[in-house]
Amino acid sequence: MTASVSVPAPVPVPWRQVLAQVSGLIRSERKLLLGAGGLILVNRGAALGPAAASKIVIDGVVGSHRPDLLAPVALGLVAAVAVEAASGFAIYRAVGIVSQRAVTRVRGELHAHVLGLPAGDFDSMSGGCLLSRLMSDPDALRDVLGPGLVQLASGALTALLAVALLLALDWTLTAAVLGILAASLAALVLGLSRVYGAFHATAEISAELTGRLVETIGGIDAVKTARAERREAYSFACTSHRLLRAFVRAFSGVGGVIALSALATGLVTATVLLLGGRAALAGRLTLGDLVLYLLLAGLLASPLLQIAAHVAELGRAGVALARIAQVRAIATEDDRDRGLASIARVTGAVAFDRLSYAYMPGRWALRDVSFEAGPGATVALVGLNGSGKTTAMRLIGGLLRPTAGRVLIDGRDLADVRLRSWRAHVAAVWQEPFLFDVTIADNIAYGRPRASRAEIRRAGLLAHCEEFVGLLPGGYDTRVGERGARLSGGQRQR
Ligand SMILES: Nc1ncnc2c1ncn2[C@@H]1O[C@H](COP(=O)(O)OP(=O)(O)OP(=O)(O)O)[C@@H](O)[C@H]1O
Ligand SMILES: [Mg+2]
């Protein structure tokens, strides 16, 4: 039975696939990422320069009356800042490349996957939904894989360096600071999960909006004839406002997370001031140590601020990864036909053997149909609207698999054959002709891109296209417009 999988329905997110996708992306870019990681290490080390210089100036220069040290310290600081700037430039460039390459790859793979899905699966998916999954979702990964990733990684690294130094300075004080940070981090993760939910809603509504827009523009004649412009505008405005409200909810969540992290940073500074001030008064810390401590505590809290600053991007990227994984979890035709044989030669005997087909369980489009058509025979299927003629053609064309019974080609059951290999022997003109916005010649040769001009003209002659193609300014090289809009209905059908 052909499984019809509806994407917009609540398909559970295959989180294992999400993880596999992320690790695949990281693995494929590991060289650049490792390089960037090394540079981040250098960059963060250099970023400790100002804190170190402050301590040296306070304790080593002012405290110990060593004016001769002042110039070398300043020079050292300039060198550290130069290293920070140069490595920062290299990091952003590397990560920019990584992120855009990842977007390109994810989108390419997703596109190939979507085109590989069985034709029957497309019946239950909306074009807008697929469009947004292909275009917007991969884009949402860019920010988080790019600068976002660098800032998170470097923030985390700075925090680790700062913890090591803080522990060496005064571990009781550090324990208190870490406690506050851990509590804030837990709250942050909770906030993030709420932001994820809100962004999920925005992605769904946005897909709905795109879908309707594509339909309205495609059916502009129908819209205008029904004088439905205002109704369409109203419905567009309603969905847009739903999107707006979903975004407001999402950004309220983001705002909350940012506020929380600012609060945590403030709490850390206050704790250090309080406990560190006492320790300095009691003579357990020098003045330089206290300043160093304050600066390091600020660096320790920085990842919190950085996660908060990127929380919107993180939320959106999480949603995008989940939505992409949902589509990738649907088996393609090749996945389903794996292990089946190809069909190389055909004489053309077509038969249905007690065949039934239902698009939806229990609603039969064809029921228990049997017939035989010999090679070269001209056969007409006649029946009422909705009696299943097109469905029968889709089954013969290898676009659908029967719910029950068999399609036989030269006596061979199509169920044992790769559908893609069978379609190499099929040519079809469908009830609703579809043309691409390319030239007439390219449309004729769409099924055989290497066809010669003579072959194209012969096909045109056989389909009685010559009479109107001759009148067009560009002949066979005339572009036909989207869906063949610049041709008449009858011209399109030929
Ligand atoms: N993609 C689909 N999803 C669900 N049901 C479908 C789908 N396509 C067709 N049907 C249903 O299956 C039945 C057969 O449709 P089919 O298109 O094969 O009829 P037809 O004989 O070609 O009709 P017509 O003469 O109008 O072209 C109809 O009841 C139709 O509503
Ligand atoms: Mg039909």
- Ligand 1 neighbourhood includes 387 CB (under 6 angstroms): yes
Q: CATH top-level class for 341-423?
A: alpha beta
- Ligand 1 neighbourhood includes 242 CB (under 6 angstroms): no
Alpha helices per DSSP H over 146-170? 147-169
| Euclidean distance between CA atoms 198 and 50, whole angstroms | 40
- Ligand 1 neighbourhood includes 367 CB (under 6 angstroms): no
Which residue minimizes the CA distance to atom 6 of ligand 1? 359
| Euclidean distance between CA atoms 239 and 242, whole angstroms | 5
- Given the CA of residue 389, which atom of ligand 1 is nearest to it? 21
pLDDT string in tens for the chain (494-residue length): 333 333 444 567 778 888 888 888 888 888 888 888 889 889 988 988 888 888 888 888 888 888 888 899 999 999 999 999 999 999 888 888 888 898 999 999 999 999 999 988 888 777 778 888 888 889 888 877 777 777 777 778 778 888 888 888 778 778 888 888 888 888 888 888 888 888 999 999 998 998 889 889 988 999 999 999 999 999 999 999 999 999 999 999 889 888 888 888 888 888 888 888 888 899 888 888 888 888 887 777 777 777 777 888 888 888 898 889 888 889 999 999 999 999 989 998 999 999 999 998 989 999 999 999 999 999 999 999 999 999 999 999 999 999 999 999 999 999 999 999 999 999 888 888 888 999 999 999 998 889 999 999 999 999 899 889 988 888 999 998 888 888 888 888 88
CATH superfamily, region 15-334: ABC transporter type 1, transmembrane domain (1.20.1560.10)
Is the Cα dihedral 376, 340, 407, 398 positive or negative?
negative
How many degrees, rounded to 5, is the angle at CA 395 between CA 389 and CA 400?
125
**404 forms bridges with which residues in the sheet?**
356
- Ligand 1 neighbourhood includes 388 CB (under 6 angstroms): yes
Which residue intervals of the chain bear CATH 3.40.50.300?
341-423
| Euclidean distance between CA atoms 434 and 415, whole angstroms | 28
Which residue intervals of the chain bear CATH 1.20.1560.10?
15-334
The pair of structure tokens assigned to 127 is 């074009």
- Given the CA of residue 391, which atom of ligand 1 is nearest to it? 18
- Given the CA of residue 392, which atom of ligand 1 is nearest to it? 18
Helix 171-218 × helix 229-271 angle, to 10°: 170
Q: How far is the CA of 364 from the centre of ligand 1 (A)?
A: 10
- Residues 300, 159: contact at Cβ < 8 Å? yes
Which residue minimizes the CA distance to atom 7 of ligand 1? 359
Residues 6+ apart with CB under 8 A from 361: none
